[in-house]
Amino acid sequence: MDLLRFATAGSVDDGKSTLIGRLLLDSKAIFEDQLEAVEVTSTARGYDYTDLALLTDGLRSEREQGITIDVAYRYFATPRRKFIIADTPGHVQYTRNMVTGASTADLGLVLVDARQGLTEQSRRHAVLLSLLRVPHLVLAVNKMDLVDWSQEVFERIRDEFVTFASRLNVPDLEVIPISALQGDNVVTRSENMPWFEGSSLMHHLENVHIASDRDLRDVRFPVQYVIRPKSDEYHDYRGYAGQVASGVLKPGDEVMVLPSGLTSRIAAIDAFDHEIDEAFPPMSVVVRLEDDIDVSRGDMICRTRNAPEPTQDLDAMISWMTREPLRPRQKLAIKHTTRVARAVVRDIQYRLDINTLHRDTDSQELGLNEIGRVSLRTTQQLLVDPYEQNRTTGSFILIDEATGVTVGAGMIN
């Protein structure tokens, strides 16, 4: 059994909570006491139906306002896969939460209401998922029961979306007509839509091929921590602990440590109390080298002829996440892999209108929930790859040095 992380985007109006509630119910991830609590609350509020959205609105303020304001994580499993849902709110003022949810997702699920067709909001969701390089995208056309299961309506929405998505970077797209309320094409195939030849949403989630999404060619091993037991038994042990970002490491491999550029060979790879023959993403391992060279947290182990470029100049798309806008000359802390530095904003090249994809080059700042292309200069070298090649070595966060709060997320061009 493997693991698939997916992000959902949409609003209550699109039936997102109903869909998630159904996925959880039908995979038995919701327990009787949870369902009973929701039934009690629904009755108390005078609803004549069980409001499945109550299952997913975790905080009291959200329940009171009837909206989701934060990323919520949900879990369910089928015999084939374990799933982690990053459930994010859909409105534009919550763009930062959607970016957060999409950052770790293998798949993005966008919902539209069949009666409404594509809206500005659904286009924006697709843009964000493509910007975050979520490799698989599913458009679920919901509420098909309310358009008489019309093939024509579905195909019109599908074609419009496919045309729109061709302007984005979407490697894999699936469009599925569903009714979350009645369960059509959610877990089992719909008898109301015999004209649809594709698989149900659950079947697609269980079978979508994610094995090739990981980069197994370019070795990138950011050193997190140096393990030195200093005990009698392990007197000379010196191991470099980290999580493999990409590539496959094997004992005997010739490697280079950045930023020093010193080379050595892998003596052994430890996984707890035994040695292993190879390490690949996303394994957490300890690498030992043949030579006693200086390696510390923030360094990166890679291959001699395939290494990221050490640089102090970053050109990146930045998603801004705080009220006080980002402005030129602003100074921030930056965390990239296991390295922390300071950065200064050189230039805001443009602000991207995520609804129209228009680039506003006149903008001199980025406000809350806005995204733009920004040039940064850092105090020390970072070991970066383009985000489109590597979601680990191509991403960073920006931290306000006074408040300590995470204020931005960056994807390197």
Partner 1 sequence: MQTHAEYRLSHLDELEAESIHVFREVVAEFERPVLMFSGGKDSIVMLRLAEKAFHPARLPFPLLQVDTGLDFPEVLETRDRWVGRLGARLVVASVEEAIAKGVVVDDGKTSRNRMQTGTLLDAIESHGFTAAFGGGRRDEEKARAKERVYSHRDEFGQWDPKNQRPELWSLYNGRLHEGEHMRIFPLSNWTELDIWHYIAREQIEIPSIYFAHQRRVFERDGMLLTESPLNPCRPGEEAAERTVRFRTVGDLTLTGCVESEASTLDAIVEEISVARVTERGATRGDDRFSEAAMEDRKKEGYF
For partner 1, the binding residues in 90-109 under the rule CB under 8 A are 96-97, 99-100, 103-104
- Residue 405 near partner 1 by CB under 8 A: yes
- Residue 368 near partner 1 by CB under 8 A: no
Distance CA 9, CA 117 (A): 15
- Compare residues 176 and 223 and give the one whose CB is closer to partner 1: 223
- Compare residues 245 and 307 and give the one whose CB is closer to partner 1: 245
- Residue 282 near partner 1 by CB under 8 A: yes
- Compare residues 49 and 272 and give the one whose CB is closer to partner 1: 272
Least distance to partner 1 from the beta carbon of 8, Å?
13
Q: How many residues does the chain have?
A: 413
Which residue is listed with tokens 């993403």?
A: 281
- Compare residues 30 and 114 and give the one whose CB is closer to partner 1: 30
Distance CA 249, CA 300 (A): 13
Distance CA 404, CA 413 (A): 26
Report CA-CA distances (Å) from 209 to 106, 111, 178, 212, 361: 10, 21, 22, 7, 39
**Of residues 360, 357, 397, the one with CA closest to residue 169:** 357
- Compare residues 119 and 224 and give the one whose CB is closer to partner 1: 224
Q: Alpha-carbon Rg of the chain, whole angstroms?
A: 24
Residues 4-43 binding partner 1 (CB under 8 A) are: 31-34, 37, 41
Least distance to partner 1 from the beta carbon of 37, Å?
7
- Residue 294 near partner 1 by CB under 8 A: no
**Of residues 242, 218, 399, 260, the one with CA closest to residue 326:** 399
- Compare residues 147 and 317 and give the one whose CB is closer to partner 1: 317
Where in 212-283 does DSSP place strands (E)?
221-222, 225-227, 239-243, 254-258, 262-271, 274-276
Looking at 108-116, 123-131, 332-340, 375-383, which segment touches partner 1 (CB under 8 A)? 332-340
- Compare residues 155 and 270 and give the one whose CB is closer to partner 1: 270
- Residue 336's φ and ψ, nearest 5 degrees, are -130, 125
Give the Cβ contact number of residue 54 at 10 Å: 23
Distance CA 235, CA 231 (A): 5
Total interface residues for partner 1 by CB under 8 A? 75
- Compare residues 66 and 229 and give the one whose CB is closer to partner 1: 229
Residues 154-173 binding partner 1 (CB under 8 A) are: none
Looking at 323-331, 352-360, 377-385, 392-400, which segment touches partner 1 (CB under 8 A)? 392-400
Residues 195-224 binding partner 1 (CB under 8 A) are: 211-212, 214, 216, 224
Residues 122-141 binding partner 1 (CB under 8 A) are: none
- Compare residues 63 and 377 and give the one whose CB is closer to partner 1: 63
Distance CA 180, CA 185 (A): 8
Print the binding letters for residues 230-249 with partner 1: x by CB under 8 A, - otherwise. Answer: xx-xx--x---xxx----x-
> Is residue 346 classed exposed, middle or buried when 0-12, 13-18 and 19+ CB atoms within 10 A define those classes?
middle
- Residue 395 near partner 1 by CB under 8 A: yes
Cis previous bond, 328, omega within 30: no
Print the binding letters for residues 247-276 with partner 1: x by CB under 8 A, - otherwise. Answer: -x---------------------x-xx---
Q: How many helices (H) and strands (E) does the chain have?
A: 8, 21
* HEC string for 46-72: CCCCCCCHHHHCCCHHHHHHCCCCCCE
- Compare residues 154 and 240 and give the one whose CB is closer to partner 1: 240
Looking at 133-141, 251-259, 330-338, 370-378, which segment touches partner 1 (CB under 8 A)? 330-338
Print the binding letters for residues 51-70 with partner 1: x by CB under 8 A, - otherwise. Answer: ----xxxxxxx-------xx
